[in-house]
Amino acid sequence: MAGVLDSLSPKLLEDGRVLGVTIIAILAITILLRRISQRFSSDYQFWKSQPWAGIRSELFSGTRAYFRSFFTVRDMVENGYHSYSTSRKAFVLPVFGGKPWIVLPKSSAKDLISRSDSELSSDDIHIEQLQVNYTLGPKGVHLMRVPLQFDVLRRQLTRKLPLLTGAVYDELDKGFKQYWGTDTTNWVEVEAFPTCLKLVTRAANRVFAGEEICRNEDFLEHSKQYTQGTVFASMALRLIPKVLRPLASPILLLHNNQHFRVCARICVPVVQERIRNTKAKQTDESFEWEPPVDALQWLVEECINTEDPKELDPVLITRRLLLLNMVAIHTTSISITHAILNVNTFEHSEQVIASLREECNRLLGENNGVWTKAALNDALRLDSTIKESMRCDDLEPFSTGRMVVHPNGIDIETSTESSLHVPHGVTLCLPSHGIHRDPEYYYSPLEFRPFRFSEPREVFLKSQKELPREQSSASDVQGSIKQTALDLKTTALVTTSDTYLAFGHGRHACPGRFFAAQEMKLMLAYVLQNYDIEKLSEKPPSTMLMGTNVPNEKAKIRVKRRA
């Protein structure tokens, strides 16, 4: 590295310093101007009356808190949780590159998720956060307001998961052999997060787009770059005054548009062929073509059913496909990487791995050596291990975001005795990071306990097997058993609650969580059955960017294929 720096001319280094200082100065001025404008806004008294997290006794305390939030927003949420949330009070969270958010206490969760979309909107947050009118093309807002791609997840994907389990496993098998290797003798060093990202992208797109697209390395790479570019461009645009965004966006999105063009070049011909074949099949059932079982096909059918020719634009459908990638790929990749690393660095990892392998072997033995949806549902330890990892290493420190869209604002309940009036345009959320680490809800919350959620279910199932038949058939006992079984089902990975918010909560909880859970369980099972991982002494530190808990991209693990 020193040699590279030495080879750079002093002028180039000086120009780089000047550019860096200029960017920092622009950011500082923008945030300072935003802070000043807030003082003259109609909501100033509201913001002034609320307690703030992350504010210190220092000059320009608010502006400096905004800058600190880029790296320390997770700490701000946790400190605010202990200072205010546990007393059933809301607090203000500075958010770098945007307006502050109101973090509600857990006691507000029921009221928050029960509000109508005319009062609180989840779509408006995504539109604002992603700056979709710039980052997703001229029809970016339309993609979010008419979310056909997410309707497909809700209506089709979850229902058809049993048909897709084998395809996902097949793609994981091919991907692991390619990215982790097949050497059964020597340890092979691989980058944990980058390879998991490739594996998830490939396996997910087997379901989203089909075999042809999911194995195209150009698509895998450029769709990843497109997602990352969209996130960073939206972050930069939020820092820029609205009046300047139309001028800045073409520059900020220059490379991202190139990534999109590569993806479109790959996807558009496939989409066009799907449209032609689907229409032909609908016109003539004898047409020799079998519709593929994947989200792209369901999306094409959904677009045809709208009877709106504009929805059949192959470029627009490609953008919808990439939106599915955007919401599903990175979140799943981050979560499964954390799970693999947490299991590997756990104090009693050998026992945990042996127990997980026993469960996998037993379930496969009961299902003719093939993973099915039913078998995965019975994989209680796999399910618990991933859920516990997502609790300990939550993706973001807040969850269940909603924007107030009612023109007059809303009164949101913070306790049984009081409520808070929140003006129009303010974003509300719940402090998931604090809740997930609260000893009131989780025993030893700072410990990673892989079977935290599966042990009660396994104990219950074992007790049912040992219960005498005449006793278990009694009606009062049957009622008690059913209720206990229902209660224990709430510990499943896909079940959301006001104490487990990794997938959000309520009717706007992540619609793809059922597929994500199946994919992660298949990945962890595949790793356990087919690879040994050399134990790490400690988990590599994550990178925290605006609160997002991203595994260390440079962290490497040594793997060896099991014979």
> What residues are designated binding site?
510
DSSP state of 52: B
Cβ(162)–Cβ(372) below 8 Å = yes
Report how far Cα 134 is from the mean position of its chain's Cα atoms.
Answer: 22
Concatenated DSSP letters of 486-547: HHHHTTSTT--BTTB-BTB-STTS-TTHHHHHHHHHHHHHHHHHHEEEPPPSSPPPPEEETT
Binding residues for heme: 510
Task: Give which of 279, 265, 278 is closest to 315, Cα–Cα.
Answer: 265
Q: What tokens does 158 get? A: 């979850």
Amino acid occupying residue 2: A
Strand order through the sheet with 101-103? 91-93, 101-103, 427-430, 399-404, 120-121
Of 296, 278, 295, whose CA–CA distance to 287 is shortest? 278
Q: Which tokens in the block code for residue 307?
A: 């009877």
Rounded distance between C-alpha atoms, residue 158 and residue 272, angstroms: 26
Using CA atoms, how far apart are residues 195 and 178, in angstroms rounded to an integer? 10
Give the CA distances from residue 381 to residues 165, 229, 337, 449, in Å, rounded to whole numbers and listed in that order: 19, 36, 17, 11
Burial call 112-133: b when 16+ CB within 10 Å, e when fewer: bbebeeeebbbbbbbbbbbbbb
Measure the CA–CA gap between 323 and 328, rounded to whole angstroms. Answer: 9
Strand 548-550 to 120-121 pairing: unpaired
| CA separation for the pair 369, 183 (Å, rounded) | 23
User: Measuring CA to CA, which residue among 219, 313, 324, 217 is closest to residue 266?
Assistant: 219
Residues in Cβ contact with 362 at an 8 Å cutoff, skipping those fewer than 6 apart: none
119 token code pair: 């009062």
Q: Give the type of residue at 152.
A: V
Separation of first and last alpha carbons in the chain: 40
Q: Which residue type does 128 have? A: E
- 101-103 and 427-430 strand pairing: parallel
**Closest among 194, 228, 231, 216 to 263, alpha carbons compared:** 216
